[in-house]
Amino acid sequence: MDAASAHATTQSSPPASDSAALASALRQAVHSLTRRFRGNAILPIPQLQALGLIARLGPRTTSQLAAHERMRPQSMAQTVGQLEAAGLVERRPDPADGRQQLVSLTAQGDASLAEFRRAADAWAADALTTQLSAAERAQLAAAVPLLLRLADGER
Amino acid sequence: MDAASAHATTQSSPPASDSAALASALRQAVHSLTRRFRGNAILPIPQLQALGLIARLGPRTTSQLAAHERMRPQSMAQTVGQLEAAGLVERRPDPADGRQQLVSLTAQGDASLAEFRRAADAWAADALTTQLSAAERAQLAAAVPLLLRLADGER
DNA sequence: TATTGTTATACTCTATAACTATA
DNA sequence: TATAGTTATAGAGTATAACAATA
């Protein structure tokens, strides 16, 4: 049987009007890239994401961070616990509400973030430079905000 | 401290010439989307990916599938085992080389793939339709092959 | 001896459920 | 009683290492 022809639309660039085919192609690309990032990371990706999030937002509770990343608070708490054990973040109780714990970067976390990020993304930065033209990089840069909009969407 | 300004390039659309910032933004988008896909999937994503791969390539050994997905053969073997247990693929020994096992779609696997795919990608297809304009979808469709090139690159 | 595949084990990531402490 | 957080447990995804079977 010629199975290839039946699903060819997921292989090449799908027509823009066909959201279903585009969604499938996107899933494929996104999961392949996730594995590449994970395989090349020096710090577990969730830790790197959380570190960057705290750096951008400033001190926040674990629950706030979890909501921002669309994860369960317990899942984020584990990541934050690992960062705390590594000395990259610290938790201090909110004086106004003893139930809350504000997570903030330590001096070490702040100092290390750029280097962690550079190391974790080095392979991608290299691939972007060597495998894509400047025009293609610009095309991709324009598409990234669209990807983030999809990821952050309500549905 | 104003941590936000130091890392603002990862938030908005980064300049196309800065591969490092683009790489970081891409990591963020890709991992957020991965969580969305996983959360909405009806079949574990690796199973769906493997099923689609076998459909496109035709019968292949587990090792060949693993190489194509850049995973270890043992990891792909587990996924294939789950698909086999579900009756979606079958393994038969290569008559020419008894060490090899060729994995192929069953009639059920072939019949079910489109439906699995539709269900797993439904949220994304909906988001693409409702949150992006036709022009933005076209922009994204053009970027997907670039993402695949990065994911399949040597480095 | 080299290659293919299998089994055993472990670690990361995320989730659900149950529990504790504070408001 | 409602809310914030913690602890316990489970399952998916992937990896490394050791083993078995075939060439």
A130 touches chain B (CB under 8 A): yes
Mean pLDDT of the B37-51 span? 95
In the complex, which nucleotide's C1' lies nearest to the CA atom of residue B98?
D22
For residue A153, is it left (φ>0), alpha (ψ between -120 and 50) or beta? beta
- Give the C-alpha separation, A26 to B120, whole Å: 12
- B9, pLDDT greater than 90: no
State pLDDT tens for residues A62-109: 999 999 999 999 999 999 999 999 999 999 999 899 999 999 999 999
Residue at B125: amino acid letter: A
What pLDDT is stored for residue B2 in this prediction?
Answer: 43
Mean pLDDT of the B110-130 span? 95
Nearest-neighbour CA in chain B from A126: distance (Å): 8
A56 CB and strand D closer than 7 A: no
Radius of gyration of chain A (CA): 19
Å from the A71 CA to the D9 C1': 18
Residues 6+ apart with CB under 8 A from B47: B79, B82, B83, B86, B88
Mean pLDDT of the B79-90 span? 97
What pLDDT is stored for residue A7 in this prediction?
Answer: 41
Nearest-neighbour CA in chain B from A6: distance (Å): 8
Would you place residue B3 in the very low, low, confident or very high pLDDT band (cuts 50, 70, 90)?
Answer: very low
Residue B101: how many other CB atoms lie within 10 Å: 17
B46 CB and strand D closer than 7 A: yes
What pLDDT is stored for residue B38 in this prediction?
Answer: 95
- Give the C-alpha separation, B90 to B78, whole Å: 13
- A25, pLDDT greater than 50: yes
- A154, pLDDT greater than 70: yes
In the complex, which nucleotide's C1' lies nearest to the CA atom of residue B81?
C6
State pLDDT tens for residues B10-31: 444 555 568 999 999 999 999 9
> Which residues of A fall within a CB distance of 8 Å from B153?
127, 131
- The rounded percent of chain B whose pLDDT value lies above 70 is 88
Residue A12: how many other CB atoms lie within 10 Å: 10
Check CB contact under 8 Å for B7 and A143.
Answer: no
State pLDDT tens for residues B55-77: 999 999 999 999 999 999 999 99
Q: Which two tokens stand for residue B121?
A: 């990608």
- Give the C-alpha separation, B90 to B105, whole Å: 6
What pLDDT is stored for residue A22 in this prediction?
Answer: 97
What does the DSSP 8-state code read for residue B90? Answer: E
pTM for the whole thing? 0.88
